[in-house]
Structure 1
């Protein structure tokens, strides 16, 4: 273009003008042509990029790292003796986080164990008493037999006394029986009647004792029926109290439920804590995920299981994470806001909504380049395999 004929590049009205002006006009025209060519190449390049890559990928920089953090709480009431960790410390599952004063828990355990021993002895007495009650019941049965014999003997004596009295009364008129003999016979009959009453009362008492013995045996049988001495309800309740006291003692040592980084520590030595008191939070950085907020117009081809590449502002573009889509949110952020937007208010303006897409990351890459909750990410989902 630099060797072109000036007559072809200079306008006719500038042919007789200053040569410098004509040169500037020619240069400007060449620049416009170059600019047009660059724009054309850029448009063709963008079209090729969109056709080959862009239409098969959706991207966003509205993405942030998240994790299912674990809150460490006290499960028993005690004072804090030691806190061997600080914020930002990396811990493994099972590491000691807090030690509570175990004195009260040890006393409670000793008391529960004593109550268990007492319950075991008491229940053993129930089983021993069962044999004794059965023997007692047999003895009461023998008492009834003896009482029946005494009643029969007393009734026989009464019958004999009545016959003697009747004989003397029959010959009293002839004078063969003196008045003293008749009186003695009458007294003998009265004594026999009293003896019968006493014998019958004794028999009734023996029957009552048998009934009481049967009731006591029934109560004792109910206490031990259907279970052994070890599985007796009283023993089981006492053993459960021991287990609970031992568990409270074990809970004076608070350990990490999972591996992660300590955050939001609120535990100080000497602090008295109650069950449920939040002591610290553990962030499991090796199981972190990303919530990417895509525009609703980008989600047409997004499916669970699609591959995702991500970069973090923390490490820059040199570190690339790989993950997969694990799910789409159940609603937009505006829908779950504390005060949702009311589009029927009359001043509605359409705003493009964003839906969170949960992305699970490769654990190996997370171990090599750990992330923290809340860090910004850029996510690129490959939707080329969408139906």
Structure 2
């Protein structure tokens, strides 16, 4: 009886030939199916989603660091902008002591006025030489007429040979006087012909000296060439500065970009114009920036480093290189969530459409950056010089 029951139990619940219970086998099959489905899902995601993006967290915000420096030597007497403060293009940021420059400007102003009057005097001298020439030619004509009237009288013995000799001497003297007057008139006109008083070389030289002095005097006032925020202010009151000496830096935070350093193995499908999604560490994943690929750097970082690697010497270990990819940021995103130069970013480039160019095909058609701050100084100097010239030309003749 017990043997029969034992045989029945073995027949109903015994092990499979491989020693794995049926329930456990089904569990392993289900687990294997889950892994297969997960692998298939991952493969599909890679083919249709992940393979269309190239991502790096080696990306940083870049921008223009506009250095402000002195253009003339001087002593700082006023500082009108400090770190973190905003300045607008053309705003005064530093003033230098203007005493020496004002003295030189006064000298140049006087020299310009004197040059105009000196040229006017040359014009008057030329007019006087013309009048003297007319008088000399009239005297010559009179002497020649007197000689012509007395020559017939000599043949008729109505006058003496001495008188004729005196008349001939008078003609020769008149000719010499006319020649001298002609030479003086030519010399006077050589200095003024084919030019007006305002455009005379002497006046132009004095005008150039005045412009230089005027600009130098105005450069004691140092302007911001662009609008932005002040950083790295190093200038101090009473400091004696020299031309080219850095005083502070202005950073235009509305003109930022991102330099993403991708591995060379990631750049196979990166093209200009591809869309980019970016996340900054300062705001986290809740704020997403949109950008566009502007271009790919012309060389790796190791090439442009201070001490480039010499891979042809010693033992060599291959290191995957990186190339900087310049990414333009959407201005609207920048206004809503301002960034700072040097902040860390994570950049993801959509490389699904790789039909664009890998290099910029044409040169730039417009300046990368420009300012009119310094051009205004020259225009104002020209206006002041024209006023001085006009004031010393005198009243026009009727």
Q: Choose from 217, 222, 225 the match for 2:185.
A: 217
Alignment CA distance shift 1:11-1:220 (3 Å):
same
Shift of the alpha carbon at 1:334? 1.6
Mean Cα displacement is larger for which, 229-238 or 262-271? Answer: 229-238
Distance 2:190 2:266 in 1: 73
Match of 2:112 in 1: 116
Which string of whole-angstrom CA distances, capped at 9 and with x for unpartnered residues, describes residues 224-251 of structure 1? 2222222222222222322332222322
Larger Rg: 1
Alignment CA distance shift 1:64-1:114 (3 Å):
same
User: Is the partner of 1:311 in helix, strand or coil?
Assistant: strand
Q: Choose from 297, 304, 315 the match for 1:329.
A: 297
Alignment CA distance shift 1:228-1:347 (3 Å):
same
Match of 2:336 in 1: 368
Tell me whether 1:340 sits opposite 2:336 in the alignment: no
Shift of the alpha carbon at 1:79? 1.4
Two-structure CA RMSD over aligned residues (Å): 3.5
User: Is the partner of 1:286 in helix, strand or coil?
Assistant: coil
Match of 1:19 in 2: none
Tell me whether 1:291 sits opposite 2:259 in the alignment: yes
Distance 1:213 1:10 in 2: 141
Match of 1:247 in 2: 215
Match of 2:44 in 1: 48
Shift of the alpha carbon at 1:368? 2.2
Shift of the alpha carbon at 1:285? 1.5
Which string of whole-angstrom CA distances, capped at 9 and with x for unpartnered residues, describes residues 284-306 of structure 1? 11111111111111111111111
Q: Which structure has greater helix proportion?
A: 1
Match of 2:60 in 1: 64
Shift of the alpha carbon at 1:36? 5.4
Distance 1:351 1:219 in 2: 80
Distance 2:261 2:210 in 1: 52
Tell me whether 1:128 sits opposite 2:128 in the alignment: no
Tell me whether 1:278 sits opposite 2:246 in the alignment: yes
User: Is the partner of 1:377 in helix, strand or coil?
Assistant: strand
Shift of the alpha carbon at 1:380? 0.4
Alignment CA distance shift 1:47-1:125 (3 Å):
same
Tell me whether 1:142 sits opposite 2:138 in the alignment: yes
Shift of the alpha carbon at 1:148? 4.8
User: Is the partner of 1:371 in helix, strand or coil?
Assistant: coil
Distance 2:155 2:76 in 1: 91
Alignment CA distance shift 1:118-1:307 (3 Å):
same
Match of 2:322 in 1: 354
Distance 1:285 1:127 in 2: 59
Distance 1:274 1:150 in 2: 78
Shift of the alpha carbon at 1:39? 4.7
Mean Cα displacement is larger for which, 237-246 or 326-335? Answer: 237-246
Shift of the alpha carbon at 1:37? 6.0
Could you tell me which runs of 5 or more consecutive residues in structure 1 were left unpaired when the two chains were aligned.
16-25, 165-187
Shift of the alpha carbon at 1:113? 1.6
Match of 2:271 in 1: 303
Q: How many residues were matched structurally?
A: 343
Could you tell me which runs of 5 or more consecutive residues in structure 2 were left unpaired when the two chains were aligned.
1-11, 356-398
User: Is the partner of 1:314 in helix, strand or coil?
Assistant: coil
Distance 2:106 2:71 in 1: 20
Distance 1:102 1:271 in 2: 14
Shift of the alpha carbon at 1:200? 6.0
Distance 1:201 1:338 in 2: 91
Alignment CA distance shift 1:210-1:277 (3 Å):
farther
Shift of the alpha carbon at 1:202? 5.7
User: Is the partner of 2:197 in helix, strand or coil?
Assistant: coil
- With normalisation by structure 1, the TM-score equals 0.77
Alignment CA distance shift 1:360-1:250 (3 Å):
same
Match of 1:86 in 2: 82
Mean Cα displacement is larger for which, 233-242 or 302-311? Answer: 233-242
- With normalisation by structure 2, the TM-score equals 0.75
User: Is the partner of 1:86 in helix, strand or coil?
Assistant: coil
